[in-house]
A and B are shown apart, each in its own frame.
Chain A
Amino acid sequence: MTLSITIGVLVTGAVFLMLQRGMVRITFGFILLGHAANLVLMSSGGTYLRAQPLLGYTNAEDASDPLPQAFVLTAIVITFSITIYMLTLAATGRDDDTEDVS
């Protein structure tokens, strides 16, 4: 429940920011959206399992699912690199923040 509310709040903020004018705000929106998607991925493994997924240290029944964690790790790297690239795009070229304001 906590997770779904958090995802909802993050997506709301992301959508609000992405509808703003200006590349920097849109980028911030994507950061929030990326976090929301990562939380969806985490929740897909079942958050009630919290123990380390290491055989020999923990019971297999209590161990958390390592696959979504691996997914999230990959996704974080990709989202992070694209976010940086979006920020460079925001800094290159014309400032679009005031472009259409007349």
Chain B
Amino acid sequence: MNAALLPLLIALPLGTAAFLVLGRFPRALERTLFLLPSGGLLAVSTVLLWRVRDGTVLAHNVALWPGGVAIPLVVDAFSALMLCATALLILLCSVFAITVGDDHASYFVPLVLVMAAGVAGALMTADLFNMFVFIEVMLLPSYGLLTMLGSRRRIRAGRVYVALNLLTSTIFMAGVALVYGSAGTVNLASLAGAARESAAVAVGVGVVVLALWVKAAVVPVHGWLARTYTGTSVAVTALFSGLHTKVAIYAIYRLYAVAFDGDTRFLWIGVLAFSLTMAIGVLGAVGETTTRSILVFHMISQIGYILLGVALFTELGLMAGIFYLVHNMFVKASLFLSTGAVEHTYGTDSLDRLGGIARREPLLAMVFLVGALSLAGLPPFSGFIAKVTLVAAALEAQQWAAAAIAVVVSVITLMSMMKIWSGAFWGTPPKDEPEDARDEDAGGAGTGTEGGLAVLAPPRVRPILLLPALVLALLTLALGLGGQILLGLSAQAATHLLDPSTYVEAVLR
């Protein structure tokens, strides 16, 4: 694939979105135009990943302006991997959203597509200001998505979310200004190693990284995540969990590797903060009583794990972090979507009001269990490989405390997953539900009329609703059994981060 086609990854979803806002189209056409670009993105990024698997770096200066002036789009193994993973998540979450009817909300489809374009842009760009713009392109539709679907709390959640993101975007922008003022460029390749040599540039890039920390929900600036992600619809939560914080994590990896050139002076800050993130995130989940809020707190904890890789900044550490990042995107979305299927079918995600789902829905229970065990890091799932490599990397870098925290937090994660399991899936259904309606045979369509009141057994989860979570669960199993493929790609990505010279040359060429 030619590097000149890279802008298509942004133009395709953006163009489709622009077409879709022109008027109201038949539902079938709208859904086709929803799934086609998402599938196209996945196909193109898979081809890209195949192209760059051996360490090639594809770079294109948009509109063929000379290097240093142009806005460069770059794809190396790391960004191709991220493009692939995000495209898959967008496709699967779109299927889920269509199944539950989220796409009936006006402009739902264009908003998701614009978000997809922003994500692709933010992953490919090698220009700090352009990264700011693409992160905004990704965030602006998410403001709409967050506030138009979900429970009544969504407006309040939206206020927090918009205010927080505008604040961090402003800080990001000020950081870009400081970088431009001190280094005279915002091209990432021209900035290579600049933050290591000059304290002024380090402050500027540091401000940018600080803004990204907030967006990635690292302790102590994680509070907003649990407040906002629980208020919206399930598909949107799953989508956000796979895209927003993960793009910020990607940017932190990239900026620290290129601009700071992996400066060892500041790594201790990362090790400290990310270890705290692991512990505080998982402890926050202990007191929660709905599946989604538990999962959201675990997200914070997992972000600590992923970022620990960049804080170690060894080859093994970076590789483990990138593997963990991809694994976590799949597993987290799988968990959100499988518990979301419960939420949509049974009308609640509160553990007090659920129970006995494992007997009614064996497949759904299986899918959840796979995700939960993978998240906790048990073999044979991808979580095991991710955690073992990360702990090994921490031990290798002699970060004993971080390694110990990572192991202990896994156990607490497992406990928390068991809480969801025993609360929602095991046991007996809560008492206020009609007992007889549930015990009827599957054939006897659960309706019984008692005293004039039609008592309906809750409907079964539709198979199509389960499909996205199932695909992701199978993927985590596959990555657990055949982890070598993803480990190889992560290692390739890690070498580019350890030694960004190939990346820099490709951009400035």
User: Contacts A40-B174, A43-B177, A44-B180 known; A89 to B129 CB distance under 8 Å?
Assistant: no
A37 in contact with B166 (CB, 8 Å): no
Which of B143, B166, B174 has a CB less than 8 Å from the CB of A30?
B166
CB pair A37–B177 under 8 Å, yes or no, is yes
The 8 A CB mask of A40-84 against B (1 = contact, 0 = none) is 110111000000000000000000000110010011001101110
The number of residues on chain A lying at the interface, defined by a beta carbon within 8 Å of a beta carbon of chain B, is 31
Bound CA–CA A23/B155 (angstroms)? 12
Q: A79-B166, A81-B140 are in contact. Are A44 and B155 (CB under 8 A)?
A: no
Please tell me if the beta carbons of A23 and B159 are within 8 angstroms of each other in the complex: yes
Q: Which residue of A lies closest to B161 (CB)?
A: A89
Q: Decide if A89 touches B166 in the complex (CB within 8 Å).
A: no
Query: Contact partner of A89 among B147, B170, B173, B181, CB < 8 A?
Result: B147
Q: Which of A23, A68, A94, A96 contacts B177 (CB 8 A)?
A: A68
A67 to B225, CA, bound (A): 34
Asked if B129 and A71 make an inter-chain contact with CB atoms under 8 angstroms apart, the answer reads: yes
Cβ of B167 and Cβ of A78 under 8 Å apart? no
Instruction: Give me 17 other A-B pairs in contact (C-beta within 8 A), A41-B173, A43-B177, A92-B155 excluded.
Output: A18-B163, A30-B163, A34-B170, A37-B170, A44-B177, A44-B181, A45-B181, A71-B176, A71-B177, A74-B129, A75-B173, A78-B140, A85-B143, A89-B147, A89-B159, A90-B159, A93-B155
Contacts between the two chains (Cβ within 8 Å), count: 78
Per the 8 Å Cβ criterion, residues 13-42 of A in contact with B are 18, 23, 26, 30, 33-34, 36-37, 40-41
Do B140 and A89 touch across chains, with their CB atoms under 8 A apart?
no
Q: How far is B180's CA from A30's CA once the two chains are assembled, in angstroms?
A: 23
Asked if B162 CB lies within 8 Å of chain A CBs, one says yes
Chain A interface (Cβ within 8 Å of chain B)? 18, 23, 26, 30, 33-34, 36-37, 40-41, 43-45, 67-68, 71, 74-75, 78-79, 81-83, 85-86, 89-90, 92-94, 96
The minimal Cβ–Cβ distance linking B241 to chain A, given in whole angstroms, is: 22
Q: Is the CB of B181 within 8 A of A43?
A: yes
Within 8 A of A (CB), among B133-178: 133, 136, 140, 143, 147, 155-156, 158-159, 162-163, 166-167, 169-170, 173-174, 176-178
Chain A residue nearest in CB terms to B139: A82
Q: Could you write out 28 A-B pairs with CB less than 8 Å apart?
A: A18-B167, A30-B167, A30-B170, A34-B170, A37-B170, A37-B177, A40-B174, A40-B177, A41-B173, A41-B177, A44-B177, A44-B180, A44-B181, A45-B180, A45-B181, A68-B180, A71-B173, A71-B180, A74-B133, A78-B136, A78-B169, A79-B170, A82-B162, A82-B166, A85-B162, A86-B159, A86-B162, A93-B156
